[in-house]
Amino acid sequence: MKRGFYTILSAQFFSALADNALLIIAIFALRDMHAPQEYEPLLKLFFTVSYVLLAAFVGAFADSMPKGRVMLISNGVKIIGCLMMFAGVHPLAAYAVVGLGAAAYSPAKYGILTELLPHRLLVVANGWIEGLTVMAIILGTVVGGMLVEPSIAHALLSFDFPIFDTGIDTTPEMSIGIIGSIYLIAAAFNLYIPDTGVDHRILKKNPLYLLHDFNHCLILLWRDKLGQISLAVTTLFWGAGATLQFIVLKWAEAALNLDLSKASMLQGVVAIGVAIGAILAAKMVTMRKSVKVIPLGIAMGLIVLGMNFVHDLWIAVPLLVLIGALSGFFVVPMNALLQHRGHILMGAGHSIAVQNFNENLSILVMTGLYALLVYLDLSIYAIIALFGLFVSGMMYYLKKRHEKNQRQFDDVALLDDTRS
């Protein structure tokens, strides 16, 4: 791998760590202000709305300049969101601004991989970036949970600088200040991401042109046989993954009697599983074999149903690791395949923007439905059953759809089967 790839990994690690730590702090802030409990999943909805509304523009923006610069600008927007939450702006609105930065960051983060590396290395590269992102999620949820843990928060708040008064007097303020410094570290790495030398498209200023161009790319990727399957799988994965974050918190409270700081650790347990699955996929799955992992998605949905029968932490942990591992193993090859098809059909930035639009629309819909079910006071055990059956059913449908496409023409045979 080129040295620039590891700089990208470092920037992504710290940015993702801060995103996930801030989510826990935002949940704490909502609870501290006694907001309705259905507001908590709405944090994810507000975070992802920019991915959907600005999808037509962020891809063109990412392709208009060196992607390291795009990532730097995007981290700056995230820092503004942090400052807003620090200043007392409602957590939903402030986290939406962080989501705006993330929406611009993502096409650059993934798009630069296709510019920097040959397509035969995309599965390995995605394994690395997904594995490290998941490590960032683990540390982010752990850091967020630790920052709101009363004894740790009290110790940090009691610390004073000798010369000046920081004016930080509450747990959310202290936590947001620390998270803001992590975003600054990510921005520092952005400065050292290399220019790949790829020619950049001039950014069109006519929004109607950009919308038409995005719609063309959207249709193009859905009509491509391999593109549609990989896009559908990753779309389902991200919607299900975002919803599972909140399901785990609620389930840990109901079934395991854990508070927020401890329940957030279980989110990290799922993330450990995803990292394991992602690393194994990078070592074991070539581009040509990527579509063979789809049945693991069916298995994951069925295993989620087992959460309804678990009330012991020692059983819960390996179950959540297994769910995460299956997720990581099937999403990494699908992501690499999607990037490969998108890069060929329309260019990296546009392709990732289309991917983000679909995936985050799925997050909006699925977390929105979860918030509605919570509002209707449906049991968490019933929600888990509906969730697991839905994921398995959709993955089974996609498996059958791919088999039908293959009977018409064997697109998979055209893919590279080497790993190095």
| Residue 419 belongs to a domain | no
> Hunting for tokens 């968490």 — which residue is that?
380
Q: Which of 118-127, 157-166, 221-230, 384-393 has the lowest mean pLDDT?
A: 157-166
Give residue 264's domain range: 3-160+172-193+207-408
- What digits encode the pLDDT tens for the residues 13-40? 999 999 989 999 999 999 888 888 878 8
Predicted confidence at residue 419, as pLDDT, reads: 52
> Does residue 102 contact residue 386 with C-beta atoms inside 8 Å?
no
> Could you tell me which residues come within 8 angstroms of residue 146 by beta carbon, excluding any fewer than 6 positions away?
152, 261
Q: At what angle do helices 55-62 and 67-86 cross, to 10 degrees?
A: 130
| Residue 165 banded pLDDT, cuts 50, 70, 90 | low
**Where residue 255 sits, what CATH number does that domain have?**
1.20.1250.20
Classify each residue of 314-340 as buried b or exposed e, where b means 16 or more C-beta atoms within 10 Å of its C-beta. Answer: eebbebbbbbbbbbbbbbbbbbbbbbb
Predicted confidence at residue 269, as pLDDT, reads: 85
| Residue 200 belongs to a domain | no
Residue 219's Cβ-count burial label (10 Å; 0-12, 13-18, 19+) is exposed
CA 148, CA 138: separation in Å to the nearest integer?
A: 16
| Number of structural domains in the chain | 1
pTM of the model: 0.72
Q: How far is CA 193 from CA 4, 25, 76, 356, in A?
A: 6, 30, 16, 22
CA 53, CA 344: separation in Å to the nearest integer?
A: 25
Q: Is the pLDDT of residue 199 over 70?
A: no
CA 55, CA 44: separation in Å to the nearest integer?
A: 17
| Residue 414 belongs to a domain | no
Q: Which of 124-128, 159-163, 224-228, 250-254 has the lowest mean pLDDT?
A: 159-163
Alpha-carbon torsion angle 82, 87, 93, 97, nearest 10: -30
CA 306, CA 380: separation in Å to the nearest integer?
A: 13
